């Protein structure tokens, strides 16, 4: 079964034929909301709204451990994370879809591991490639098969939020090698790796980052909303193609 975690702009999967919803309990507290189960094109899919179904949970307060554990516990063999991002690169414009291949983590204070607490054994994971290579490749191929242009590879900078970044911070991130910025990519990716669940991301460029492009003097939230409505339709189409082409998360 494939699991999809939806972020800003994707609080539900409109093409999911819903069978039922489950409120799950975890050793790490409450997930962001009930997990929705159903099918897309006859294939099993689970969906979880990262910020809650009323978009009430800010990125720094998401219970990432509970979310990933719940999906893994209910049989997810792969997780696709969907989130909106700001673009630092001039060639990545609002509405573009990116499948990142690397992460730089600027977050702090988040519960970022299952291997902690009294009596827990110190455990290290290899995070050289933070996203699953096979699942990434299938996302890129799925977009190509339905004629949607996609950027294959970018460095995702995970920022703390919930505020957006300053122009000076964006300049710093660019010097670090960051291409796009978002607030939810970590510790989500690392937690999935700890549980051995293949994880990849679809990042939708909602706006230019602070100080860049048409965000040079400020960011328009009204413009972001319009961009996401159209772009998330493309994301749903990519996911539908993915689940019909023999993906590694098929049960």
> How far is Cα 53 from Cα 56, in angstroms, rounded to an integer?
8
Q: Does residue 9 fall inside a structural domain?
A: yes
Cβ–Cβ under 8 Å, residues 38 and 82: no
Could you list the residue range(s) of the whole structural domain that residue 144 is in?
Answer: 2-244
> How far is Cα 212 from Cα 160, in angstroms, rounded to an integer?
20
Q: Does residue 251 fall inside a structural domain?
A: no
Predicted confidence (pLDDT) per residue in 150-186, tens digit:
999 999 999 999 999 999 999 999 999 999 999 999 9
What confidence score (pLDDT) does residue 119 get? Answer: 81
Q: Does residue 61 fall inside a structural domain?
A: yes
Q: Does residue 102 fall inside a structural domain?
A: yes
Burial of 227 from C-beta contacts in 10 A (0-12 / 13-18 / 19+)? buried
∠ Cα 145 147 240 (to 5°): 55
Predicted confidence (pLDDT) per residue in 88-100, tens digit:
999 999 999 999 9
Query: Is residue 248 pLDDT above 70, yes or no?
Result: no
Query: Is residue 13 pLDDT above 80, yes or no?
Result: no
Query: Is residue 247 pLDDT above 70, yes or no?
Result: no
∠ Cα 152 155 160 (to 5°): 135
Mean pLDDT of the chain: 92
pTM of the model: 0.93
Strand ranges (DSSP E) for the chain? 2-6, 17-22, 35-40, 43-49, 78-87, 97-99, 102-105, 151-152, 155-158, 180-182, 199-208
- Per-residue pLDDT band at 246 (split at 50, 70, 90): low
Total number of domains constituting the chain: 1
Q: CATH no. for residue 94?
A: 3.40.50.1580
Q: Does residue 26 fall inside a structural domain?
A: yes
Burial of 73 from C-beta contacts in 10 A (0-12 / 13-18 / 19+)? middle
Structure tokens at 48: 């979880």
Q: Does residue 250 fall inside a structural domain?
A: no
Q: Does residue 249 fall inside a structural domain?
A: no
Query: Is residue 72 pLDDT above 80, yes or no?
Result: yes
């Amino acid at each position: 079964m494939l699991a999809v975690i939806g972020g800003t702009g994707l609080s539900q999967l409109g093409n999911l034929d819903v069978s039922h919803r489950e409120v799950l309990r975890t050793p790490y507290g409450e997930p962001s909301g009930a997990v929705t189960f159903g099918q897309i094109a006859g294939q099993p899919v689970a969906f979880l709204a990262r910020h809650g179904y009323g978009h009430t949970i800010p990125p720094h307060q998401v219970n990432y451990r509970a979310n990933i554990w719940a999906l893994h516990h209910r049989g997810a063999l792969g997780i696709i994370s969907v989130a909106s991002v700001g673009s630092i690169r001039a060639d990545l414009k609002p509405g573009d879809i990116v499948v990142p291949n690397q992460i730089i983590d600027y977050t702090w204070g988040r519960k970022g591991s299952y291997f902690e607490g009294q009596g827990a054994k110190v455990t290290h994971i290899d995070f050289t490639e933070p996203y699953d290579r096979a699942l990434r490749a299938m996302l890129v191929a799925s977009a190509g098969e339905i004629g949607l242009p996609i950027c294959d590879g970018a460095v995702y900078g995970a920022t703390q939020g919930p505020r957006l970044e300053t122009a000076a911070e964006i300049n710093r991130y660019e010097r670090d090698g960051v291409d796009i910025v978002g607030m939810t990519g970590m510790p989500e990716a690392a937690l999935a790796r700890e549980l051995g669940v293949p994880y990849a991301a679809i990042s939708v460029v909602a706006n230019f980052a602070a100080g860049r492009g048409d965000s040079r003097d400020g960011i328009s939230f009204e413009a972001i909303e319009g961009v996401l409505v159209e772009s998330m339709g493309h994301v749903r189409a990519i996911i539908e193609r993915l689940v019909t082409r023999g993906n590694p998360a098929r049960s």
